[in-house]
């Protein structure tokens, strides 16, 4: 069944699924300052941090060969709250760019990946981010 709101196909065959657990707090768009030239250094710093975090998965997760689904889940500790959706998505832009740089995604355009974002209070009370990549097309031989 395909969701009319987000185009997610729950019945699609999954040919590969890869999980990355990052033990850090996810930043909001306000913290990254992605569209503010004064704050461009914040984006560069965030991008470098995500590059380092994802580098340990290079060689353990195969490079993308086709369209992939990308699920980013933010878990936040007590005394924090949900980000509004724009801040959640925009704050992960440096991470998305680094997924592309490391080859985990072919690109961040809709033809290369479908992005899904969500957030929950952390059951263990610790900030962390889980990124799941799914291959929904078979590898051509």
Among 35-39, 80-84, 122-126, the minimum mean pLDDT is found in: 35-39
For the cut 60, the answer to whether the pLDDT of residue 4 exceeds it is no
For the cut 90, the answer to whether the pLDDT of residue 61 exceeds it is yes
Confidence label for 33 from pLDDT (cuts 50, 70 and 90): confident
- Per-residue pLDDT, 10: 73
- Per-residue pLDDT, 30: 85
Q: What is the CATH number of domain 16-135?
A: 3.30.1330.70
Taking residues 5-32, report their average pLDDT: 85
Q: What angle do CA 61, 8, 125 make, to 5 degrees?
A: 65
Rounded Cα distance, 88 and 108, in Å:
16
Q: Where along the chain do its domains lie?
A: 16-135
How far from 75 is each of 52, 98, 101, CA to CA, in Å?
20, 20, 24
């Amino acid at each position: 069944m395909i969701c009319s709101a987000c185009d997610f196909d729950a019945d699609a065959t999954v040919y590969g699924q890869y999980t990355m657990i990052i033990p850090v707090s996810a930043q909001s768009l306000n913290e990254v300052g992605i569209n503010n030239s004064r704050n461009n250094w914040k984006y560069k710093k965030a991008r470098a941090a995500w590059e380092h975090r994802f580098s340990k998965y290079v060689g353990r997760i195969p490079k993308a060969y086709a369209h992939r689904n990308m699920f980013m889940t933010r878990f936040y500790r007590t005394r924090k709250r949900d980000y509004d959706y724009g801040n959640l998505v925009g704050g992960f832009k440096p991470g998305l760019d680094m997924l592309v740089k490391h080859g985990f995604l072919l690109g961040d355009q809709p033809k290369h990946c479908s992005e899904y974002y969500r957030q929950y209070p952390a059951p263990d009370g610790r900030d962390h981010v889980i990124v799941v990549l799914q291959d929904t097309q078979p590898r051509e031989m």
